[in-house]
Amino acid sequence: MANLPPKILVVDADPTVTGPISDPLDKMGIEVFAASDLQTAMYRFNKQFFRVIFVELKFPELDGLSVIQKWRNHEIAEKQTAGFIVMTSAPLSKEQLALVNEMGKIQVVQKPLQVGPMITQIQRAYKLHVRYELALKIKKDITEKLEKDGDLKAAIKSVQEFKEPLSDEYYPLLLELYQLHDNYEEGIEVLRQIPNEKMDPLQRLNLMGKFNLKMGNLEDARKFYEEADQVAPKNMERITDMVDMYLQLKSPDKAVDKQRQILDLNPENRDIKFDLFKQLEDNGFADHAASFCQETSAPKEVVRYFNNKGVVMAQTDSIDVAIEEYKRAITYYPNNKDNYLIHFNIALAFLRKRDPKFLPQAKEHLSACLKLQPNFEKAKALLNKILDRQAG
């Protein structure tokens, strides 16, 4: 049958949900792959190319709309073009419906799944995929040319020529050109002139927030972002931008609130929190970084992460970077007894510099190491070796 993909992915915590549909779809040439947990869903999506995907709205580990947002931002652009269908056994909440409309190009269907209606849903989703795939190709060609020659007028003209095939991707691509060219003032003027029926109101608020943030109009950005966030609080891109906005506004408590949301929306990548701590620290909020770290991380976890990261940096001869990474563990948990390993590795990093002027720092950290772990023989031997060398 035309307009049907060779396979689909069904993401649902109930492994039996695909039972009634697998055989009929298989006879139509559609192979059904199932994922009943987040790890399997991520693995299947990363390893295969699905043009149509069903996702359970109330997926336990991460809600379906958040899963879709992740996949629409996949590092492989072609994977972003899948046609998504959200499955639900209850009506969407007001916030969920607002987010669906803001995200766009998503079908919502009622469970249990039935083969007849499902075929129509798959065909619609597949058509969306084909259209989105074409729009992606047009976008790639135009943006690459703009990045190469910097001719914004020519890029705008090219987009206008493809207005019909771009369909509802027309205005987002047009506005993206202004972003790529750092021409936010004109972009805002274009945004204001787009007819209401051509753009979701939350998409408009989001872009107004983004453009004003780029221009440094922080209070205006706050107004637009907070209004949109109140209506649909789980837009992952908006949440990320709002962290940056609050940090620039010197509102670290609000930034941490948004970072907590980011952490909740990334259950498969818990180490993302260390990037969030660094973001706070780099913006001058070291105390908030340490507090957030202690709120979300066990001491041993912090030592493991920064120890491993520091070792990798040191092995690639990025010794100064390695030392800074090691020191973050001490900053976040200064009284942690397991920091003896961090102090030991900082000492090793200073010694790798092969410069006598760094011996005092190496001795200092070896002494700190032994204060925390007096029976650590490697540290004892290394400290004695340094002292013998200095005595000789």
Predicted pLDDT at 368: 97
pLDDT of residue 321: 93
Count of domains in the chain? Answer: 2
Among residues 99, 132, 165, which one ends one of the domains?
132
DSSP collapsed to 3 states, the chain = CCCCCCEEEEECCCCCCCHHHHHHHHHCCCEEEEECCHHHHHHHHHHCCCCEEEEECCCCCCCHHHHHHHHHCCCCHHHHHCEEEEEECCCCCHHHHHHHHHHCCEEEEECCCCHHHHHHHHHHHHHHHHHHHHHHHHHHHHHHHHHHHCCHHHHHHHHHHCHHHHHHHHHHHHHHHHHHCCCHHHHHHHHHHCCHHHCCHHHHHHHHHHHHHHHCCHHHHHHHHHHHHHHCCCCHHHHHHHHHHHHHCCCHHHHHHHHHHHHHCCCCCCCHHHHHHHHHHHCCCHHHHHHHHHHHCCHHHHHHHHHHHHHHHHHCCCHHHHHHHHHHHHHHCCCCCCHHHHHHHHHHHHHHCCCHHHHHHHHHHHHHHHHHCCCCHHHHHHHHHHHHHHHC
| Cα distance between residue 79 and residue 82, in whole Å | 6
Task: Give this prediction's pTM.
Answer: 0.92
User: CA 20: distance to chain centroid?
Assistant: 35
Give the CATH number for residue 117.
3.40.50.2300
Q: How far apart are the first and last CA of the chain?
A: 86
What are the φ and ψ backbone dihedral angles of 114, each rounded to 5 degrees?
-125, 140
Q: 286 lies in a domain? A: no
Task: Annotate 51-87 with b (16+ C-beta within 10 A) or e (fewer).
Answer: bbbbbbbebeebbbbbbbbbbbeeeeeebebbbbbbb
The verdict on residue 92 lying in a domain is: yes
User: What is the CATH classification number for the domain harbouring 341?
Assistant: 1.25.40.10
Domain-terminating residue out of 87, 106, 132: 132
Supply the pLDDT for residue 2.
65
- Out of 109, 132, 155, a domain closes at 132
Residue 176 inside a domain? The answer is no
pLDDT of residue 1: 55
pLDDT at 186: 96
Asked if the structure places residue 340 within a domain, the reply is: yes
Residue 185 falls inside a structural domain: no
- Domain hosting 312: range is 299-391
- What pLDDT is attached to residue 250? 98
Residue 235 domain flag: no
CA separation for the pair 332, 225 (Å, rounded):
31
Name the region of 366 (left: φ>0; alpha: ψ -120 to 50; beta: rest).
alpha
Residue 255 neighbours by CB under 8 Å, 6+ apart: 242, 243, 246, 247, 280, 285, 288
Residue 184 falls inside a structural domain? no
Beta bridge partner(s), residue 87: 56, 109
> What is the residue-level pLDDT of the chain in tens, covering all 392 positions?
568 999 999 999 998 888 888 889 999 999 999 999 999 999 999 999 999 999 999 999 999 999 999 999 999 999 999 999 999 999 999 999 999 999 999 999 999 888 888 999 999 999 999 999 999 999 999 999 999 999 999 999 999 999 998 988 999 999 999 999 999 999 999 999 999 999 999 999 999 999 999 999 999 999 999 999 999 999 999 999 999 999 999 999 999 999 999 999 999 999 999 999 999 999 999 999 999 999 999 999 999 999 999 989 888 889 999 999 999 999 999 999 999 999 999 999 999 999 999 999 999 999 999 999 999 999 999 999 988 887 76
Distance of alpha carbon 31 from the chain centroid = 30
Say what the pLDDT of residue 5 is.
96
Residue 368 placed within a domain: yes
